[in-house]
Structure 1
């Protein structure tokens, strides 16, 4: 059902530097780039995350209440993406951490890119050491 996500920018060079750093820990790479858009995706795959110049030529604007959430297979990758965002012009919207009000293993970080788009990087997985401890027959809760 999901094909791709598109957000706007009028500074593709800045967006490329920001998202190259932020998406690298997730293994996403540039799959397509021209003077109107850049698309990142899995190696060998099609672009799934696109940054484009608005087709109407007007200033890009983030939506009120809109957010893009990207999946990370491990919590350490959430941390790495957030650190890359903070080191490349992003603004904090919520440091990495557990959000148990969503569910017990929801570990996310929130930030805005240089254009103001809100991005979340989230892992829904328990850490491997915690899973092993929970499943060990001699460990008590």
Structure 2
């Protein structure tokens, strides 16, 4: 059901060091880091065991880093999620499409829910 969860942090460098140390005994490590230029907003650090599962984002755009990503089995499901969320009152935060900075098959869509939280649906399938 869940693909990953992200939270805003006030100091990315300090939080990166904290989570790297605290999560290491659980088998988590830094999987990927992206700059503000790559994300279009906040620099982020992704932690996981084999793939990103927990993301921290420096809080320069409140609410952007606080998000939940739901796993979708197909790209069509991502498209349907986006359309349904907008129809239900969500606000667009990035229409369906490939996000190559996140991975070569990372197909996702983003919406803000009624409280302003960034909700994502993501499909990792090649097509």
Task: Name the structure with the higher strand share.
Answer: 2
Bigger radius of gyration, 1 or 2?
Answer: 1
Q: Give the TM-score, by structure 1 length.
A: 0.45
Q: Give the TM-score, by structure 2 length.
A: 0.50
